[in-house]
C-alpha cells in the first residue's frame, strides 16, 4: 500500500504542468536598483526579499516607480496589505513637470481591503477617477483575502487592460489613454486619525514584454469601453455625451438646419473636419449643438494635423454673421503653434495660440502640449461668468465674462463690432471648420 501511494504521489508530481513562461523579475530581492520614489515621503524597505511600504503622516501619495517605461506587458505579483490601508499598482503612468508639478498620474490597479472590496478594479490616479469599479463583480470582490497574500495578474496590450485577483477575473477595460509609462507601487497618504507605520508588502514582481499573445489568458467579463462613452463615475457626477460617436444627432451646421452634407467625416468613433483650402468655414462649415448651454463644463479630445487651425466656440449666437466666415462666439483656440502663422498674430500678444481665448487672452506659455499626431484634451468651465480653459489637465487661463477687464479686451479686438460680444446667458457650442484636418472624440458636457 505504501509503495502504491508513493508511486501515485510521484506520478502526480510528474504530471503537474511546469511553468515555462519566460518571466523577467522587476525586483532583484536585494536592492532598489531600477526603481525611484516619487510623489511623497513614505518609507520603502527591503525585508526577506520583499518590498515593504510604510505609511507616514503629512505626506501625499508616494510611489516606488520603475525607471523603465513599459507599453505592452503582462505583470504578476503578490502583495500583503494591512486591513486599514489603501494602495494600488500604477501602470502606464507618468510624472512630468507640466502636469500638476510632477504629480504621478495614470492607470492604477486598486488594492482595497475595505468592506467595499474593489481590489483589482481600475482607477485613474489624478485624472478621471474610477474607470472600472467592481460594483457588479461579486466574484472578484470575494476573491480578496484579508490579512493574507493576494496575487494579481495584469495584462496591458494595446488599448486593452485586464486584471485578475487570485485567478478571478476582475477588470476588462478598453481605453485609449496612455499607451506607455512606468509601473509603481503605491503607499497611500493617511489622515491624522490613522496609524502611521502600517505596511504593505510586495513580492514575486515579474513581467513579460515579448510574444505576449502566446501567454494571454481568456477573459470571461464583458469589456468596459470608454471611447465616446461615460464611466460610472462620470454618470454619477452628471456628465452627458455631447456626441454619440456614431451619428450627427444633436448637431447641425452653424448656418444650416441640418448637418453639412460634406466637409465632415465620422469614422471609427472619431469626428473629423476635413482639409480644404484653409479658409474659414468655407467647405462643410462650422457645426454647432442643437441645444443651448449656459453654465457648463465641456471636455473633449482633439488631434491636430501639422499646421492646423480650428477652434471650440461657446456662447455662440448663430443668428449673428449669416454672411461669409465663422459663426460668432468666444473661442478656445486650437492651433499648431509651431507651424501656423496665427501663433504670432492677434490683437493681444499670443492670444491666438493653442488653448487661448482667441484674440483676447493668451494661454499660459508653459502649457503642456502633446507631440503632433497624439491626442490632446481640452476642458472648458464656465460658471456664473467665471471661465477657465484647461489643456491636458493644466489650467492655462481664466477670466470673468462681462467684467470691466473683459469689456476692455473686447473693445480692443475685432469683436468690438458685435454688441455685448460673448455675454449671452446661453449659446451654442461650436466646432470650427477652418479648412484644416482636425479630429475630435469623447465630447461630453456637464450642466452646472
Residue 16's pLDDT is: 59
Give residues with Cβ within 8 angstroms of 342, minimum separation 6: 309, 335, 352
Residue 11 pLDDT exceeds 90: no
Give, in words, the CATH class of 233-447: mainly beta
- Beta strand extents in 71-214 (DSSP E only): 73-81, 87-94, 105-111, 122-125, 129-132, 150-157, 160-165, 168-174, 182-187, 199-208
Check residue 326 and give its pLDDT: 84
Residue 219 pLDDT more than 90? yes
Handedness of CA 392, 397, 400, 402 (dihedral sign): negative
pLDDT of residue 4: 46
Q: Assess whether the region 21-226 and the region 233-447 belong to the same CATH fold.
A: yes
Residue bearing cell 489568458: 217
In percent, the amount of the chain with pLDDT more than 70 equals: 95
Q: Which residues contact 110 (CB under 8 A, 6 or more apart)?
A: 88, 118, 119, 120, 121, 122, 123
Q: What is the pLDDT of residue 1?
A: 47
pLDDT tier at 14, thresholds 50, 70, 90: low
Residue showing cell 463615475: 233
> Where in the chain are the domains?
21-226, 233-447
Which three cell numbers mark 95? 510624472
Q: What pLDDT is recorded for position 5? A: 47
User: What is the architecture of the domain spanning 21-226?
Assistant: Sandwich (2.60)
Interval 200-217: pLDDT, tens: 999 999 999 999 999 999
pLDDT of residue 53: 98
Could you report the per-residue pLDDT of 268-291, keeping only the tens digit for each? Answer: 999 999 999 767 777 799 999 999
134 pLDDT tier (thresholds 50, 70, 90): very high
- C-alpha to C-alpha distance for 425 and 423, rounded to whole angstroms: 6
Averaged pLDDT, 421-425:
97
For the ranges 46-55, 151-160, 318-327, 364-373, which has the lowest average pLDDT? 318-327
Map grid coordinates 504593505 to a residue.
Answer: 200
| Residue 264 binned pLDDT confidence (cut-offs 50, 70, 90) | very high
pLDDT score at 43: 96
Residue pair 260/425 in contact by the 8 Å Cβ criterion:
no
Beta bridge partners of 333: 311
SS3 label, residue 178? coil
Burial grade of 180 (CB within 10 A; 0-12, 13-18, 19 or more): middle
pLDDT > 90 in the chain, percent: 88
At 226-259, the pLDDT tens digits run 999 999 889 999 999 999 999 999 999 999 999 9
pLDDT 10s digits, 313-349: 999 999 987 777 789 999 999 999 999 998 988 777 8
> How much is the mean pLDDT over the chain?
94
Prediction pTM value: 0.91
- The count of other CB atoms within 10 Å of the CB of residue 222 is 7
Distances (CA, A) of 4 to 7, 13, 389: 5, 14, 77
Amino acid at each position: 500500500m505504501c509503495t502504491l501511494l508513493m508511486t501515485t504521489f510521484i506520478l502526480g508530481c510528474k504530471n503537474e504542468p511546469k511553468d515555462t513562461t519566460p518571466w523577467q523579475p522587476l525586483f532583484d530581492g536585494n536592492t532598489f536598483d531600477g526603481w525611484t520614489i516619487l510623489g511623497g515621503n513614505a518609507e520603502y524597505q527591503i525585508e526577506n526579499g520583499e518590498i515593504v511600504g510604510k505609511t507616514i503622516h503629512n505626506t501625499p501619495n508616494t510611489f516606488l516607480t520603475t525607471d523603465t517605461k513599459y507599453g505592452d506587458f503582462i505583470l504578476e505579483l503578490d502583495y500583503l496589505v494591512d486591513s486599514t490601508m489603501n494602495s494600488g499598482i500604477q501602470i502606464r503612468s507618468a510624472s512630468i513637470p507640466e502636469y500638476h508639478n510632477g504629480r504621478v498620474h495614470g492607470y492604477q490597479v486598486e488594492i482595497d481591503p475595505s468592506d467595499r472590496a474593489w481590489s483589482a478594479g481600475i482607477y485613474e490616479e489624478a485624472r478621471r477617477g474610477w474607470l472600472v469599479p467592481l460594483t457588479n463583480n461579486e466574484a472578484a470582490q470575494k476573491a480578496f483575502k484579508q490579512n493574507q497574500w493576494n496575487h494579481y495578474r495584469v495584462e496591458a496590450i494595446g488599448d486593452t487592460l485586464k486584471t485578475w485577483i487570485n485567478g478571478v477575473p476582475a477588470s476588462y477595460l478598453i481605453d485609449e489613454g496612455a499607451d506607455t509609462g512606468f509601473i509603481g507601487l503605491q503607499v497611500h497618504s493617511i489622515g491624522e486619525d490613522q496609524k502611521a507605520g502600517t505596511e504593505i508588502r510586495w513580492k514575486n514582481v515579474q513581467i513579460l514584454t515579448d510574444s505576449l499573445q502566446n501567454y494571454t489568458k481568456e477573459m470571461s467579463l464583458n469589456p468596459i469601453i470608454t471611447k465616446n462613452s461615460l464611466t460610472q463615475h462620470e454618470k454619477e457626477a452628471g456628465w452627458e455625451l455631447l456626441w454619440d460617436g456614431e451619428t450627427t444627432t444633436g448637431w447641425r451646421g452653424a448656418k444650416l438646419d441640418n448637418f453639412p452634407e460634406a466637409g465632415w467625416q465620422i469614422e471609427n468613433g472619431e469626428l473629423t473636419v476635413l482639409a480644404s483650402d484653409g479658409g474659414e468655414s468655407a467647405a462643410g462649415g462650422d457645426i454647432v449643438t442643437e441645444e443651448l448651454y449656459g453654465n457648463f463644463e465641456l471636455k473633449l479630445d482633439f488631434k491636430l494635423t501639422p499646421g492646423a487651425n480650428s477652434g471650440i466656440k461657446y456662447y455662440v449666437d448663430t443668428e449673428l454673421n449669416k454672411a461669409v466666415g465663422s459663426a460668432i462666439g468666444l473661442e478656445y483656440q486650437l492651433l499648431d503653434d509651431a507651424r501656423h502663422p496665427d501663433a504670432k498674430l492677434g490683437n493681444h500678444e499670443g492670444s491666438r495660440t493653442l488653448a487661448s481665448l482667441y484674440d483676447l487672452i493668451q494661454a499660459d506659455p508653459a502649457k503642456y502640449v502633446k507631440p503632433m499626431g497624439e491626442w490632446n484634451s481640452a476642458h472648458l468651465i464656465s460658471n456664473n461668468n467665471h471661465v477657465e480653459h484647461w489643456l491636458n489637465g493644466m489650467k492655462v487661463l481664466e477670466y470673468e465674462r462681462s467684467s470691466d477687464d473683459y469689456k476692455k479686451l473686447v473693445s480692443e479686438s475685432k469683436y468690438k463690432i458685435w454688441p455685448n460680444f460673448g455675454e449671452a446667458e446661453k449659446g451654442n457650442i461650436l466646432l470650427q471648420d477652418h479648412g484644416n484636418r482636425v479630429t475630435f472624440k469623447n465630447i461630453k458636457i456637464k450642466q452646472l
